[in-house]
Amino acid sequence: MCSESSHPLELCAHREDAVLSTMQDVPLTVTRILNHGTTIHGSSHVTTWTGESEPHRRSYREIGERAAQLAHALRGDLGVTGDERVATLMWNNAEHVEAYYAIPCMGAVLHTLNLRLPVEQLVFIVNHAADRVVIVNGSLLPLLAPLLPHLPTVEHVVVSGPGDRSVLDGAAARVHDYEELLAGKPTTYDWPELDERSAAAMCYTSGTTGDPKGVVYSHRSIYLHSMQVNMAESMGVTDADTSLVVVPQFHVNAWGLPHAVLMTGVNMLMPDRFLQPGPLAEMIETERPTHAAAVPTIWQGLLAELTAKPRDVSSLTQVTIGGAACPPSLMEAFDALGMRVCHAWGMTETSPLGTVARPPAHAVGTDAEFGYRLTQGRFPAGVEARLRGPGGEFLPWDGESAGELEVRGPWIAGAYYGGAAGEPLRPADKFSEDGWLKTGDVGVIGPDGFLTLTDRAKDVIKSGGEWISSVELENALMAHPEVAEAAVVAVPDEKWGERPLATVVLKDGATADYPALKEFLAGRIARWQLPERWAAVPSVPKTSVGKFDKKVIRRQYADGELQVTEVR
C-alpha cells in the first residue's frame, strides 16, 4: 500500500506485488456498542434516581428494546430521516440513554442541549443545528416552553417523565408523550450499517466569547474514545463496576461514560435532577457505586454533606474529577474517606478524554505521588500533544517551558460545525495550520508526558516574546497577609507589547503599599515578570460561574476606570 502522502513516489512505483491487509473492513460505530452492550451485557442495568423510596431500574436488554422502539417512533411517527438533528433537553436518566443510542444508530444526529446555558444561547444553538425534534424531560418544560416560539425548525416535542404539559398549550410544534410514542412499537430495529466517519452526536461549547460553536462527534470518534475510557490506564471499569454519572449527559456526552460503560457492561447510576449533596450521598449509600465522575463543585458539596452527616460511602473507591482543577485539600479529604480521586483533563473538543492523572508506577508510594495526582495527567496513545511558545515555536517537554497546548487524535476536533449547508469552520485561533486543536490552555509537560496547566492562553501576558503567567502572579499575591484577592491581566505596553497589571482587593484595614507588595513578589517570581502597574479595587469582577472576569478588568483599564499606580 503506497497511499502515504509523505512517502517518496519511487517506493511505490517499482513493485507490483503490493501486500494488502487481509483484515475485515468493519466500521467502528455506536451501533456496535449498542448491539454488544444490550445482548452480551443485557443483564447489566441503568438505575435512575427518582427521589422516592425506590429508584427505577432498567436492564441493558430493555434499553436496547426501547431504543429500537424510539427509533421506530422517530422514523415512522415523526419522519426523522438521514442525518437530521434530534435534540435532547434532559437530565441523566434511562430515557436519555435510550436517546443516546436510538438517534445515532438510526443514522440521525443526537444534539444534547445544555440546560444551564443562558436562554439566548440555547435559542442560537437549536437554530444553528436546525433541530427538528426535541426530547425533553417534563421537569424541564418551564425552561423549554418560552423558547419554542423562537425555534422555527422544531416540529416535534417529545415529553418524558412527570411535569406539567399544559405549558406547551398553543405551541406550533406537535407535542408527544415519550411512553405513548414507544408503546407497541417493535422491540428490534434493522439498524443501518453506517460509515464510521458519519456524524453521530453534537455538542456546543459554551465559550465565554462569541457564539457557541458546535463539535460534531463521529461514530468512529465515540467508539475509540469508549475503548480508551475502558483501558486500565484510564477509568478501567468492568462489569463489576457501577458508575455514578453525575457529569451531565448534555456536557460532552457525560464525558463519554454512557457509551463506554455499555461497551463493557458497567452498570450506570443516574441522578436525574437530584444533583444536590443530600440525594447524592443517599444514592451512594444505597446503590453502592464503585466509580463516579463529576466536576469539583459537586464533590465540594458532597464533602460538606458527608462531614455534616456521615454516610457509608465505602463502595465508592474511584472518583474521576475533571472540568476544573481539583483543590489539593479536596483530594486529601476524599482520600481520607477512601474515595480515591483521579484527575482528568479534557474539553468539548476532545470528547473529552485528553489526560488522566494516574501517577506513574515509579512514583506510587513515594513523596512524588501526590504531586503527579495534582497534575492534569498523562496523555494516552490516542492523544498526541505539543507545546508552542509565544512565537509559535515548539517547546521541549522539560517540565519548565510553558506554552499553549495543541493536541491531535482520532477523538479530537479539527473544525467546528458550520451550520446547515455550511462548510466546517476552522478559525485560526482554534486550529493550527496543520490541523491540530489549539486548546487555549497554557502549561508545561514533563519528560514523562504529565501535563500541568497554569493559565488560559488568553490570560497569559505576552511580554517581549516571553510569557508571564497571570495565575502564578495571582497566587503569589494572594499569599500576602494583607491581600484578600488579586487578579492580574495583560495591558498594552509600548516597549514590551504587553505587561501585567495587578489589581488587588485588600483586607479590611489594610492600605495599599504597592512597593512593598512588589518586593514581596520579588522573593517568589522572576524580577522581569513583576508588575509595574498596580490598582486597588473593592472586588474582582466575576463571571456567572464565579471565575475572574478578566475581560471586564481589561475594559476598565482601557476606559480609564481604574486608579493605576506605577511602581518602577
Among 142, 186, 238, 324, binds its own copies (CB under 8 A): 238
Site for its own copies in 41-80 (CB under 8 A): 41-43
Q: Which of 278, 360, 497, 541 binds its own copies (CB under 8 A)?
A: 360
- 299 has catalytic annotation: no
Known catalytic membership, residue 205 = yes
User: Choosing from 191, 255, 345, 467, which is the catalytic residue?
Assistant: 467
Is residue 429 a contact point for its own copies (CB under 8 A)? no
Q: Is 307 a catalytic residue?
A: no
Is residue 420 part of the contact set for its own copies (CB under 8 A)? yes
Counting every residue written for the chain, the total comes to: 568
Q: How far apart are the first and last CA of the chain?
A: 65
Ranges assigned E (strand) in 236-310: 242-245, 267-270, 291-294
Tell which one of 146, 162, 192, 396 touches its own copies (CB under 8 A). Answer: 192
Q: Which of 116, 311, 408, 456 binds its own copies (CB under 8 A)?
A: 408
Q: Does residue 171 interact with its own copies by CB under 8 A?
A: no
Under the criterion CB under 8 A, does residue 32 sit at the interface with its own copies? yes
Give the integer Cα–Cα distance in Å for 475 and 506.
14
The count of C-alpha atoms lying within 13 angstroms of the C-alpha of 474, restricted to the half-sphere facing its C-beta, is 19
* Nearest CB to its own copies, comparing residues 11 and 479: 11
- Locate 490 and state its grid cell: 495583560
* Pairwise CA distance, residues 90 & 101, whole Å: 15
Cβ-based nearer residue to its own copies, 224 or 402: 224
Asked if 262 contacts 238 with a C-beta cutoff of 8 angstroms, the reply is no
Residues 92-111 that bind its own copies (CB under 8 A): 107, 109
Task: Report the site for its own copies in 123-152 (rule: CB under 8 A).
Answer: 130
Q: Please identify which residue in 85, 128, 373, 462 interacts with its own copies, judged by CB under 8 A.
A: 85
Tell me if 428 contacts its own copies by CB under 8 A: no
Site residues for its own copies, 376-395, by CB under 8 A, read 378-382, 384
- List the one residue from 103, 126, 224, 303 that touches its own copies (CB under 8 A): 224
Cα 49 to chain centroid distance, Å, stands at 23
Give per-residue burial for 249-275: e unless 16+ CB within 10 Å, then b.
Answer: bbbbbbbbbbbbbbbbbbbbbbbbbbb
Which amino acid is it at 419?
A: G
Closest of 374, 505, 528 to residue 451, by C-alpha: 374
Residues between 253 and 272 with contacts to its own copies, criterion CB under 8 A: 263-265
Pick from 51, 57, 81, 309: which binds its own copies (CB under 8 A)? 81
- Taking the C-alpha atoms of residue 187 and residue 90, their distance in angstroms, rounded to an integer, is 23
518 in catalytic set: no
Cβ contacts of residue 153 below 8 Å, gap of 6+?
Answer: 126, 127, 130, 131, 132
The stretch among 162-170, 196-204, 327-335, 504-512 that binds its own copies (CB under 8 A) is 196-204
Which positions are catalytic? 205, 349, 462, 467
